[in-house]
């Protein structure tokens, strides 16, 4: 299996995971992200308690890359403090921008590391970063 095929399989696995697509009844903040070039429309729902991401989910629909990226982000940041989440989001954007990111920092991104290969496809970068922009806004507003 080529690396690209493997990446595609991982992305499709994450994209088909529906566990994080749900309402959070006592959510503390929401941020909608819309990518008009692809049609992705994903809202990030957040519940922050004692400065920790107590729960995070999404609503809406997007393509395989945006949905997979959203699920990866949700699984990486749930249970993390806002400070930790901020570092993860920054590392992700650094990676997507092609900046130097150390192996140790990349490790923090878990499976989201594979989205780096999307950064070579300009038309799909917006798909991969959509929900991360939303979370960044939520962290800054917090
Ligand atoms: Zn898309």
Cα dist. 139→8, 54, 88 in Å?
A: 30, 14, 11
CA-based nearest residue to 118, from 4, 28, 1, 2: 4
Ligand 1 center to residue 127 CA distance, Å? Answer: 4
pLDDT score recorded for residue 4: 85
pLDDT score recorded for residue 63: 97
* Bridge-based pairing state of the strands 40-49 and 29-35: antiparallel
Ligand 1 center to residue 2 CA distance, Å? Answer: 23
Asked if residue 20 lies in contact with residue 1, where contact means CB atoms within 8 angstroms, the answer is no
Ligand 1 center to residue 50 CA distance, Å? Answer: 34
Q: Binning pLDDT at 50, 70 and 90, where does residue 2 land? A: confident
pTM summary value:
0.96
pLDDT digits (tens, 9 = 90+) for 53-112: 999 999 999 999 999 999 999 999 999 999 999 999 999 999 999 999 999 999 999 999
Ligand 1 center to residue 49 CA distance, Å? Answer: 31
């Amino acid at each position: 299996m080529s690396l690209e095929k493997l990446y595609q399989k991982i992305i499709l696995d994450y994209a088909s995971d529906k566990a994080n697509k749900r309402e959070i009844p006592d959510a503390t903040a929401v941020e909608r992200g819309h990518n008009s070039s692809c049609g992705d429309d994903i809202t990030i729902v957040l519940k922050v308690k004692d400065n920790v991401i107590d729960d995070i989910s999404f609503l809406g629909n997007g393509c395989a890359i945006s949905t997979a990226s959203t699920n990866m982000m949700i699984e990486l940041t749930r249970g993390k403090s806002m400070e930790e989440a901020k570092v993860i989001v920054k590392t992700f954007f650094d990676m997507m921008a092609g900046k130097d990111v150390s192996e140790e920092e990349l490790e923090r991104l878990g499976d989201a590391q594979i989205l780096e290969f999307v950064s070579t496809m300009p038309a799909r970068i917006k798909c991969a970063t959509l929900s991360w922009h939303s979370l960044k806004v939520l962290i800054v507003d917090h």
